Structure 1
Amino acid sequence: MTQDMILANATLVLPDETIRGSIVVKDGMIAAVDSGTAVPAGAEDCEGDFIAPGLIELHTDNLERHIHPRPKVDWPHQAAIVAHDAELASVGITTVFDAIRVGSIISDPNKKYGKYARQMASEILSMREHGGLKISHHLHLRAETCSETLVEELAEFGPEDRVGIVSLMDHTPGQRQFTDMSKFESYIRGKYAMPADGFSEYCDFLFGLRETLGEKHEKATVDAAKRFGAVLASHDDTTSEQVAVSASYGIHLAEFPTTVEAAKACRENQIANIMGGPNLVRGGSHSGNVAAIDLADLDLLDIISSDYVPASLLLSAVQLGQHWGDMAKGLATVTATPAKMTELHDRGRLEVGMQGDLIRFRLTEGVPALRAVWSKGNRVA
């Protein structure tokens, strides 16, 4: 059951400003937004707490963490989906694009990782259909061009799946995220407990995949996004030349550009720059790439993603608001802008007629402390 409510005497985070006021939610939708400090009968006095739109997450690896809580451990998927959903609700995320890898390696037993995208997507959609989830879930297919089965796996999806985002991923060593091969070696060997003498062989294998299948896989991904009606995203653009290719494909989102050069080129091509919340909170990239705060200072940062730490989404947006001296601008990177760029026109703003996705938080020594979360007018955290 949806909860009709009045939240009064709150600091409302509007698209372009913050004001003291109240908000009315009826039948899961925002019915009124007013200014002033009055607390009418039946209203909840927010005592100046912030009320903002529910957060919108475009790229998170969090579901995979729940599916594989330890190496070689495959947790029951429905249980993992529910746990993932509850965790996101608990940190203020009310809309998520669940990132699912498409494209697998099956020929070499030493480097094998299998397909799972179609099954996982069906399980998410089923849980959504049967009302098992607290927040809104959409599909984000991460197309691994450096793989063997990408074309076949993309063919398993269609417009009926309502895929929201397709991202073009190229994890060939020595470029994009891991231009520094020493950092790539440290990451891969640590993640897979790979011996030193196996690393060069692994890289050669990936180079071979890129050479033989890379162009074919890029074309298949672009074509699939058009077939699905999905927004197309690039990943880890590093040079202006790579951005030019992204623009030629019709890409609208740039996930984690690794250099100022790439971020500037994205802006020139009307491609929105997404940076990681962990990068912002930690003060830099764990891969040695451009710091999110540097792009913020150059006004080249459009959207924040929590990436691998769900709680970083609200914290990083608030930190941006404090850094810019404009809380509305900071929160827009996780509300209005991601909604606009993924054509979710019914959320992301505190306006009459918008979906009743809301969060309430206050600042304690500069850190946001969530007090409540609502999804479509229902209290979910």
Structure 2
Amino acid sequence: MTRIVLGNARIVLPNDVVHGHVTAEGGWITSIDTGRKLPVGAIDFAGDFLMPGLVDLHSDHLEKHIMPRAGVYWHALSAAVSYDAQVISSGITTMFDSFGLVGEEFDSDRNGALGRMLQGMEEAAIEGLLRADHFIHLRCEIIEADIVERFATLQEHPRLKLVSLMDHTPGQRTFPDSNKWKMHQKRRTGASDAELDAILAARQEARDQYAIRNRRAISKICQEKGIVVASHDDTTLDHVLEAKELGNRISEFPTTRLAATEARRRDVQIVMGAPNLVRGGSHIGNLSASECARASLLDVLASDYIPASLLHAAFLLNGETIGWTLPQAVATVTSSPAACVGLDDRGEIVLGKRADLLRVRLHNRLPVIRSVWRAGNLVY
């Protein structure tokens, strides 16, 4: 049975930071002791922070590994292993790989990447090549005519624990201003005004025809199977009320203060992007994570598209601008996301919890990962 002792550390507990050492045996935390004396055989942290491993509910970064350029697909297993290495080196010991489930007409490149991502991650898991614990977060584009049928092919997957219901129709939610959407797409794809007008009209028609039906159908399936559901880019009161009515437990990336406030009133967990916090605002001009934090409208941070942003953002919450305590800030990337999806065995340095642990050193206020243990095993 593997036994480790990590000592001379500043231990980030659920409600305090103490100097001491932690012992883990067989992958579980068995003792937490205070004091500066280093036990015999302990790993000396030299005053570095000892924190729980990070839990990330949303990262679509695997897409960048499997499809480094538009229409260019990389070797699936190689992509999975390199992605996992980036995840674990960012301190993320539990990752929800966020796979975009779309139709052929909505985004053919992303749809083509889905099968490769699933294949690569499955092969890496079977061969024991993954160092982080990986689950699946399916991001379902509900304006697609066949999205419920596509979802049915994956709804029994044993690693599926989270589903988000997305509606990226221009003119609402992410892009309430259709002209801003057109400008964004021009920069991203180089499409002409005529091409974008045709796409806009087609997507608005599809939304009118399919969105409500598909949102209700997928929510119902998830409720029956015990899969956690998140709404995505809530903007209005009606968005939050609809999500709550359908049993959605998470509001992921609300775009307005109104939506975040209503989510809080209805005990819906609010997830914001860590890159939003690190950058100082949304890259498309929506609600800022720092505003949510200052208004106590933030429960969970997710890395979204940059794994390294998660730990960085947590320490920014603890900074002078926002002023959260370190345990409160760390909870947004550890225990709070774990609780959202029912992973009660991790996310805290508590007796009997899993020994997913990080050694973190501050360098010019930037947290740097020095070592990572998952279930008591050194993996980085």
In 1, Cα distance between equivalents of 2:14 and 2:344: 14
Residue aligning to 1:305:
302
Query: Do the aligned residues in 1 keep the contact of 2:314 with 2:333 (CA within 8 Å)?
Result: yes
Query: Do the aligned residues in 1 keep the contact of 2:271 with 2:301 (CA within 8 Å)?
Result: yes
Give the CA RMSD over aligned residues: 1.7
Q: Name stretches of at least 5 consecutive residues in structure 2 with no aligned partner.
A: none
Tell me the CA shift for residue 187 of structure 1.
2.1
* Aligned residue pair count: 377
Residue aligning to 2:193:
196
Tell me the CA shift for residue 362 of structure 1.
1.5
| Cα distance change on mapping 1:119 and 1:151 into 2, 3 Å | farther
Tell me the CA shift for residue 128 of structure 1.
2.0
Query: Do the aligned residues in 1 keep the contact of 2:79 with 2:120 (CA within 8 Å)?
Result: no
Residue aligning to 1:80:
79
Query: Do the aligned residues in 1 keep the contact of 2:6 with 2:23 (CA within 8 Å)?
Result: yes
Mapping for residues 123-272 of structure 1, pairs under 5 Å: 123-272=120-269
In 2, Cα distance between equivalents of 1:242 and 1:192: 29
Amino acid corresponding to residue 92 of structure 1 in structure 2: G
In 1, Cα distance between equivalents of 2:208 and 2:277: 35
State the Cα deviation string for residues 283-309 of structure 1 (Å, max 9, x = none): 111111111111111111110011111
In 2, Cα distance between equivalents of 1:249 and 1:342: 17
Amino acid corresponding to residue 76 of structure 1 in structure 2: H
Amino acid corresponding to residue 268 of structure 1 in structure 2: R
Tell me the CA shift for residue 105 of structure 1.
3.0
Tell me the CA shift for residue 34 of structure 1.
1.1
| Cα distance change on mapping 1:245 and 1:274 into 2, 3 Å | same
Tell me the CA shift for residue 22 of structure 1.
0.7
In 2, Cα distance between equivalents of 1:122 and 1:158: 16
Q: Name stretches of at least 5 consecutive residues in structure 1 with no aligned partner.
A: none
Tell me the CA shift for residue 119 of structure 1.
5.9
Matched, 1:362 2:330: no
TM-score, normalised with respect to structure 2: 0.95
Residue aligning to 2:277:
280
State the Cα deviation string for residues 168-198 of structure 1 (Å, max 9, x = none): 1000101111112232112222222212221
Matched, 1:334 2:336: no
SS for the counterpart of 1:97 is strand
In 1, Cα distance between equivalents of 2:270 and 2:261: 9
Query: Do the aligned residues in 1 keep the contact of 2:73 with 2:113 (CA within 8 Å)?
Result: no
State the Cα deviation string for residues 36-57 of structure 1 (Å, max 9, x = none): 1110110112121100000000
Query: Do the aligned residues in 1 keep the contact of 2:260 with 2:297 (CA within 8 Å)?
Result: yes
SS for the counterpart of 1:161 is coil
> What stretches of structure 1 move > 6 A for 4+ residues in a row?
none
| Cα distance change on mapping 1:133 and 1:220 into 2, 3 Å | same
Tell me the CA shift for residue 112 of structure 1.
4.2
Amino acid corresponding to residue 292 of structure 2 in structure 1: L
In 1, Cα distance between equivalents of 2:193 and 2:182: 9
- Give the share of equivalent positions with the same residue, in percent: 37
Tell me the CA shift for residue 127 of structure 1.
2.6
Tell me the CA shift for residue 157 of structure 1.
2.1
SS for the counterpart of 1:215 is helix
Amino acid corresponding to residue 268 of structure 2 in structure 1: I
State the Cα deviation string for residues 225-256 of structure 1 (Å, max 9, x = none): 22432110010001111100010011111110
Amino acid corresponding to residue 45 of structure 1 in structure 2: D
Amino acid corresponding to residue 196 of structure 1 in structure 2: D
SS for the counterpart of 1:87 is helix
Q: Which moved more, 1:28-37 or 1:155-164?
A: 155-164
TM-score, normalised with respect to structure 1: 0.95
